Structure 1
Amino acid sequence: MTTDSQPSRPPEPAALRRDVGLFGAMMMGLGSIVGTGVFVSIGIAAGITGPSVVFAILVAGLVATFNGLSSAQLAAVHPVSGGTYEYGYRWLTPSMGFTAGWMFLCAKSASAATAALGFAGYALHLFQVDREDWIVPLAVCAVVATTLLLLGGIRRSNWTNIAIVSTTLIALASFVVAGFPVAWREGSANMTPLFASDVPSTATRQFLEACALMFVAYTGYGRIATLGEEVHNPRRTIPRAIIVTLLVSSLLYAIVGGVAVAAAGTDILSGTTNRTTAPLQIVANQLKSPLIAKLVAVGAVTAMLGVLLNLILGLSRVVFAMGRRGDLPSKLSAVSTRSATPYVAVLAVGIG
């Protein structure tokens, strides 16, 4: 007696795993935003518009929130990896999606390199190592270490990011607490005149320029949307995470910027800097507290590391999405069965 054997089905391809909740997604957004914006851009913007930089921060945050609401709606409707690339491909045309994907890869690859160099410079300054020739090798080591971390899976990356961002937030909170008494005492002098120029047309132009600069500092919320296939209940989690991230970062930027300007004045905050000293760190040095200055220096290092981690994470997901659609080699869409991470895409980004 014989029995008909059923044809064996090919194994299902490995898929990304949903291991990130609302808090983790929000912290990834903060890890992408709280970097050069708070440690560097506020100082540059203060030099442009004067004490009114605090209002420029709030205006930029409001504009970024409106933009973020659009991204949140798109992510809720189409919660897949790839972010802007996928939205352009699906809702506009494939060629628009292709263009958006390549523009993202080019722009954020440069940003990742800048974050790695910033991390290296701040780390050497923190440990008082006066060797500029070590900056590039240390930056490369940071990229390699971050790539290896991401190969371990989104859960491990998520918890590492939470630890990094928490350290940065503690450093900034310490700066605010230490700087508030000085800001209260010196604020009336340092916050006037409100604008850098007393000519209305020039003051308006400078204020809008500062708003534009600070708007760029909020753009990291887009990293949340690239994780569409790795968060729990993405239709609810991604929009909430984007909105909460923008609100928290706006409030954080405004408080830190207000305390920095009121405590030290825009002349010190906007002083000439290099790759190893952030403007906020210069203000911390003015507080005459070695501990706070050291904490801010640590915060600058962890902030750059968090930005680097989230940029490589976002880049790898866009590369993964483009490989899946055939706009890049299909092997880039391979997913590890053990860690559920697009390991080929992560390696490609890390090497590139």
Structure 2
Amino acid sequence: MAGTPTGPGLLERRLGLTDAVVIGLGSMIGAGVFAAFAPASRAAGSGLLLGLALAAVVAYCNATSSARLAARYPASGGTYVYGRERLGEFWGYLAGWAFVVGKTASCAAMALTVGSYLWPEQAHAVAVAAVVALTAVNYAGMHKTVWLTRGIVAVVVAVLAAVAVVCLTTGTADAARLDVTSDATVTGVLQAAGLLFFAFAGYARIATLGEEVRDPARVIPRAIPLALGLTLVVYAVVAVAALAVLGSVGLGRAGAPLAEAVRAAGLPALVPLVGAGAAVAAIGSLLALILGVSRTTLAMARDRHLPHVLAAVHPRFKVPHRAELVIGAIVAILAGTADLRGAIGFSSFGVLVYYAIANASAWTLTPEEGRPARLIPVVGLAGCLVLAFSLPLSSVIAGAAVLAAGVAAYGLRRAITTRSP
């Protein structure tokens, strides 16, 4: 199949449909659901649900484009591979750079989130320990990673279900608080959609792991929309439950929105359970992030955009072990020395650029190659660009600076290569 790497240094195809869906759910139903609703509600006010719906539409277009491309190019790297094959080397590199740099910072931010929930006084130490432990799990092979992800998803969904039931069945819930017309603005809804989109972006993990999926042409196009659809249902129910109890103003002011929701619903005894669920969700997000970054690093190392030594695949565990160790070490250092929880903003910008390139790549597919309906990549591309530049100005500036640094590095490498005899 086009774009599929060959040779002894390949990853092993171990993931079936259920495994791929679980990986997607573990990536999307993560710490974002416990934290993203508050800033999104501050931005959109009563239009929070409209922002969620808009984020879901853009995510659906991106997911469909990614699924068709992943079926065509079932190799590690996701949009790095699609951009390279369909648009040219530079666009693939730009997508890979945005993903690796942005998501590495997100890994550190998520590790610190784990530390903040489990032991706030020693957040950095716990963050480093979490990174080391999860890197070891990923190093031991995909089977161990899928097993742990299943447990994490089960725990997090159970906690979210408890939150929804408590909020919707108590006398404090009021359907009038769900009115989306009272103070919503177009700008606020767009900004909320950009913030909430970050929580949906985990379906890319399925495409990034394309080289490890059995029968990718059949499994990936089914797994991505299924995982996205299940996640949307969970997010919509939780958002409605929290809004019904707190209202958009109360939700926007909440430091820990779901904990505040169960407290307002009259069951403060559940607050520790929500905190535990958030910690487990953050661990799941971190596990999936490290997994995705290491696979994109592998793909870029194969093409020597990153040191070629990182392209090695472990002969026994069939994982990109050097890439995993290097990414794990970098994330551990960042998590132990800096507070990067504010990095989520520029990571969101990078992810939206990443998917914009995916949609542009999907536009070039022919009907024989499984091209989606033309409207899907058009809406996906336009939606990504609009949401990217609707993010807070600081996030846009930071994201643009990261992309500019990547472009400069690419130009320098090309200049050196051209001059070499």
Q: TM class, shorter-chain normalised?
A: 0.7 to 0.9
Identity %: 38
Q: How does 1:135-146 map to 2 (within 5 A)?
A: 135-146=123-134
The question of whether the paired residues in 1 share the 8 Å contact of 2:163 and 2:258 is answered with no
> How many Å separate the matches in 1 of 2:192 and 2:26?
22
The question of whether the paired residues in 1 share the 8 Å contact of 2:67 and 2:207 is answered with yes
Q: Which amino acid aligns with 1:31?
A: G
Q: Are residue 186 (structure 1) and residue 168 (structure 2) matched?
A: no
Q: Which amino acid aligns with 2:258?
A: L
**CA offsets per residue over residues 60-99 of structure 1, 9 Å max, x none?**
1122101110011100111100101111111111122222
Equivalent of 2:46 in 51, 64, 67: 51
Q: Which amino acid aligns with 1:308?
A: L
**CA offsets per residue over residues 285-312 of structure 1, 9 Å max, x none?**
2233245323221210111111100010
Match of 2:252 in 1: 270
> How many Å separate the matches in 2 of 1:342 and 1:312?
11
Q: How does 1:1-352 map to 2 (within 5 A)?
A: 13-124=8-119, 131=121, 134-182=122-170, 186-192=173-179, 194-195=180-181, 197=183, 203-273=185-255, 278-352=256-330
Q: Which amino acid aligns with 1:165?
A: V
Where in structure 1 are there 5+ consecutive unaligned residues? 1-11, 125-129
Task: Say which SS state the counterpart of residue 174 (structure 2) adopts.
Answer: helix
> How many Å separate the matches in 2 of 1:36 and 1:294?
15
> How many Å separate the matches in 1 of 2:146 and 2:217?
19
Q: Which amino acid aligns with 1:162?
A: R
- Relative contact order higher in (CA < 8 Å, ≥ 6 apart): 1
Show structure 1 runs of 4+ deviating over 3 A: none
**CA offsets per residue over residues 139-182 of structure 1, 9 Å max, x none?**
11111111111110011111111111111111101111121112
The question of whether the paired residues in 2 share the 8 Å contact of 1:52 and 1:207 is answered with yes
Give the CA deviation at 1:284: 2.1
- In angstroms, what is the RMSD of aligned CA positions? 1.8
**CA offsets per residue over residues 94-122 of structure 1, 9 Å max, x none?**
12222221221111011111111111111
Task: Say which SS state the counterpart of residue 173 (structure 2) adopts.
Answer: helix
> How many Å separate the matches in 2 of 1:188 and 1:338?
56
TM-score normalised over the length of structure 2: 0.73
Q: Which amino acid aligns with 1:333?
A: A
Match of 2:374 in 1: none
The question of whether the paired residues in 2 share the 8 Å contact of 1:196 and 1:203 is answered with no
The question of whether the paired residues in 2 share the 8 Å contact of 1:50 and 1:195 is answered with no
Q: Which amino acid aligns with 1:50?
A: G
The question of whether the paired residues in 2 share the 8 Å contact of 1:268 and 1:283 is answered with no
TM-score normalised over the length of structure 1: 0.87
